[in-house]
Structure 1
């Protein structure tokens, strides 16, 4: 991809940042001073500890390195010159993405997605994708959310009012800043609107090459959080902020191409669903339970996957059916695609997309059968013998760790390392006693 002309010059040479994804999809990085990062990919040394930290910077005891906790060294990090872009609304602050290389490449989230995309390319297919994110804005800061209970936090808007034109007009300045920020960062949007729920906004990132789509997604989440702080707000991409509110999704739109044509499209087939698309969806459904933890990576993720939350419960598909885990969106060749609805907004873009495409490619390789599509509410099938999606991070992690298919697609070393990180995450939250438990049990039980 051509480098934006604005990336060259003194800013990129003397005050650029680099960012690399950890397992949680958080960009970790630093300023690199005195170098022109736009002049070809460079390999530098960077702490390998970011692949052994949890989201609160605690070192996972049984980490991938098999070293003592204090013995983390440096790893090779490739700075990707073509990813440089402005990430600040005011002024010029540039960010370049990076990825671990060498011995750490097979556990690097971006490296895992590249591995899956190579597998698709080996079959002659290119992949395009686009992410949709729902996020909540609160008129709070790091201090006030620490000092006040959640019920007293003030959202940007009160109550549900999805697709509200009135609110969009009232907050046109805010929307204008988001659009300008994304334009400056070369993250074009195809839609921006208020979603149902207090302070909830949905942004649809325009589709593009799959690896670039994941790059845009991880930068989008980071710059929205940073921008919100400059406005005296906090943005959250949690999958489920409150039990009384819908969850926040991170849907992924995917299409496959071959020889410049949409390989999912067949004008002679029912709903234009080609044989390849049937195999691809068949694989997504067949391996959804095994790979689920890649798209739902947190303890909180599974609180979104429940009835009445506009989120899937069972590995089912449907044509233009928003209750299903995979939604086929039929249309002309330029628009015909599927929507992978399993992931929440808390996803790691690289790993969630690797999950969605990797399972699909497995379906193509094995000619996976596709069950009948769901008409109506897919959650009604939650009690069938075929079962529902994993009910917890613990269950999903166990299935992933034991899956031969996961080892095949993602590699045994990554499966072991990521499973270790998710078991740690489960333990970090599972044994905490919450205020809800105290209110429910303290006097009565």
Structure 2
């Protein structure tokens, strides 16, 4: 958290306009925004200095009138680059530095925290064990098992406790997480029955509990079966842990049949208390699985039929229909559009890609491109159809509240719109 606040403060020093920020920038940064070497610094700057290189590397300039971007030394050293930049269509504002990872181009505390946390290792089952229909304590137990944080006898011995290690369930082998929850003979019988219910008994070939969870995460069931599959695995593991503790601390007996009965009772409670557990597919295997686990199958509702009409423009107007795609959030974005006249004849079409982004950025890109092409063709009576209410609002209000990397293009689009009849 401290690094997040330092990153935000360093960004203010790099581009801030307050007198204190300007003094720090002149004192400790060169003309390119890099930290000056061998400068006697006060205590705060020592922390800020660590964040400056990454911010400078990950930031871009929005080229405007050139008031900030070109120093005399830069122009003298790179005249060709300056010439190539100056012939580009630029904005009417001053140059502004933006952070490329931010939609608005600014550093917030949340963004800074995310930047410092993104190096944490990610596991495939990370989001799989947390579900609304699974009690949190069962998910936490699975998390502790998969991270080897459960206090089994081998972990206690590793922490310095002197005690014999043997399995309280089978009383044959030494106790470990993989033994208690996967290789123990008493536990294997439970897994065998449970996996037969789900028709995936081949998962018994997994070598340990971690590989079993990875394989379970990759299973491709229908949405309803997936809900019971996740809940069943986490309930099974949690119940084994609870019954093992009763054997250790209460001198109880371990019975695999009680674990299986507990799972079926919980499946019944899930069906009664949660209405949005998905539906089964039309495959007969899904109906066999629901019968095995003792729940009612829920078939998908038939799709609603909706009439869709396309209205041609009137007179000499041109209508452009846009469509966009984004592979993930964020992911590669693309946009396209088709121009038609009042006779429904195709007058032109376009397709454009623009790297990584969100869906609303793809919609914005489609409108910018369609307006630019229409202006170049002289189609000044233009009817634009877009799926995004955000983009429609921008067109109506002429707002400049857009992601930073589209600011120059959007300002140019607003200027072009003054010549259109929309």
TM-score by length of structure 2 reads 0.20
Structure whose residues are more often helix by fraction? 2
Determine which structure has more spread, i.e. the larger CA radius of gyration. Answer: 2
TM-score, scaled relative to structure 1: 0.19
Q: Which one has the bigger strand percentage?
A: 1
